[in-house]
Structure 1
Amino acid sequence: MINEFLNNICSGTFIFLLIACFLASFIDAVSGGGGLISLPAYLASGIPPHVALGTNKVSACIATVASSAKFATSGKINWTLMRKIAIFSFIGAFLGVRTILLVDSKYLYPITIVLLVTVLGYTLMNKKMGYENEFTGLTEQNIRYGRIMAFVMGFYDGFFGPGTGSFLIFMLIRIFKLDFTHASGNAKILNLTSNIASVIMFIYFKKVNYLYSVPVGIIMMLGALLGAKTAVSKGTKFIKPMFLIVTTVVLLKMVAEAVFHIDVSNMIQDFFSSLLS
């Protein structure tokens, strides 16, 4: 494996993988959805599908640590809130990964499409949604809703995944009245905890190529830092349009796959492969 890695590290394939994953981590740091780019890029690089999933998750987890740190140092994370609900995201993701081994995730497509349409429609109709941070404090009620949300989203991320970033940002705004910048920062912590649970499972089942996940993860850290820095400096006026674009792309992808039976992920993979040929 080491010889293979040394042969590929200076190749066009590896350089392409670094560029694609850098872009993916930048987008993911702002509004989620980076997996739409990074996973097909790994697959196009010739890594077996089951290993690509685990390798991508490890790289993404490394990047999420970086973006979370940037949001944290910028004061965009409510640590009191995260201490109360983040563990539920971890537990949910752990159970989600275990469940995916028993149940076909295709049954979640219709539900997810409806939820994405709802999120997109509600956000477009409420033009002022998320522009002002109207958080007034923690109550027993919003903490309870937050824990339920964190568990459900963690389970969903471990079990299925598409749109997790959009759902987290939307629900944090709805439950805690945060603006997009603070919602994005807190969403990163919840996403990080679910990623850690997923990574543990992939490592346990030996589905990670460390010779790729670590160096790519380092590059993704740089993309995530740049994305988080841009999000913090430009604020809601930048994050909300990105949120709408990413949510729309995820929705269109899922509709194409579920309704028209078009394998969008494979199309992206083929496109990336053509760039490498």
Structure 2
Amino acid sequence: MVLALAAFLAGLVDAVVGGGGLIQVPVLFSAFPREVPATLLGTSKLAGVFGTGAAAVNYARRVRVAWSAAAPAALAAFALSFLGAWTVTRMPGDYFRLLLPVVLIAVAVYTFRKKDFGAIHAPLHSGAKEKIIALGMGAAIGFYDGFFGPGTGSFLMFLFVRFFGFDFLSASAAAKLVNVACNVAALLWFGYSGHLLWQLGLMMAVCQVAGSLLGTRLAIRHGSVFVRKLFLVVVCLLILKTGFDAIKRLV
């Protein structure tokens, strides 16, 4: 029941601003303290791919998706997420844990200071330049998602707003498509290598889909201002969580 509730809340939050792993992954690690980390991450990806997929479909039906940027980013993310998932089964991600709070603080400060950040949809690039930037962003985020993962959706939203000029609602829609590609690629490796708890993951997937459907409705109904506020809340919570984890590692 605890895992089902965590998956529902993760799906809801992830559908709006990303960061659902902030809820779901710690609960999984708490419930199965002796399980191999790669297996728990794989199980989380199994639930996440359904939840994020449902959110992506919902956004595509109601929000104009910037395919020219989202599609190249998704392709690059798919390829590099697979590589990241392969890497995490062979080496720990300790250095990511130490660096992540610093990066998140920079994201939060930038968003807080720019009051109009993500309020207006004014794409900055087009043509080949847009595709090149999208490929680079997708590759970097894809590897990070497969290797470690927390905050991937939030990072994607920030990057789509900062480097492509999207508003928060459009950025959320594009981020979901890239996130689906990340999750599918990582899931392929985790499944192939046997790092999955299938029954648990599928049960959590049903709850994630329910949460994501509610989350997309809230985001579309209340618009970019609501998404921006929730984005800042989730990033601040991610800073606290990842900072605490990093301090534990150091001491």
TM-score range, shorter chain: over 0.9
Q: Structure 1 residues 256 and 145, CA, compared in 2 at 3 Å: closer, same or farther?
A: same
Structure 1 partner of 2:53: 65
Q: CA deviation at 1:262?
A: 8.9
Amino acid at match of 1:254: T
Structure 2 partner of 1:53: 41
Distance in 2 of aligned mates of 1:47 and 1:229: 35
Amino acid at match of 2:70: M
Q: Structure 1 residues 40 and 220, CA, compared in 2 at 3 Å: closer, same or farther?
A: same
- Residue 128 of structure 2 is aligned to residue 140 of structure 1: yes
Kindly name which structure, 1 or 2, has the bigger radius of gyration based on alpha carbons: 1
Q: Structure 1 residues 262 and 136, CA, compared in 2 at 3 Å: closer, same or farther?
A: closer
Q: Deviations over 1:61-80 (max 9, x none)?
A: 11111001111101242223
In the TM superposition, 1:1-277 aligns within 5 A as 15-46=1-32, 49-50=35-36, 51-135=39-123, 138-261=126-249
Q: Is the 8 A contact 1:256 1:262 kept in 2?
A: no
Q: Is the 8 A contact 1:172 1:183 kept in 2?
A: yes
Q: CA deviation at 1:205?
A: 1.1
Q: Is the 8 A contact 1:18 1:219 kept in 2?
A: yes
Q: Structure 1 residues 260 and 206, CA, compared in 2 at 3 Å: closer, same or farther?
A: closer
| Percent identity over paired residues | 32
Q: Is the 8 A contact 1:62 1:220 kept in 2?
A: yes
Q: Is the 8 A contact 2:21 2:149 kept in 1?
A: no
User: Which moves more between the two structures, 224-233 or 205-214?
Assistant: 205-214
* Unaligned stretches of 5+ residues in structure 1: 1-14, 264-277
Q: Is the 8 A contact 1:97 1:158 kept in 2?
A: yes
Instruction: Give the TM-score normalised by structure 1.
Output: 0.84
Which segments of structure 1 move beyond 6 Å, counting only runs of 4 or more? none
Distance in 1 of aligned mates of 2:3 and 2:87: 30
User: Which moves more between the two structures, 40-49 or 235-244?
Assistant: 40-49
Q: Is the 8 A contact 2:70 2:134 kept in 1?
A: no
Q: CA deviation at 1:137?
A: 5.4
Distance in 2 of aligned mates of 1:189 and 1:98: 22
Question: For the aligned residues, what is the CA RMSD?
Answer: 1.9
Q: CA deviation at 1:245?
A: 0.8
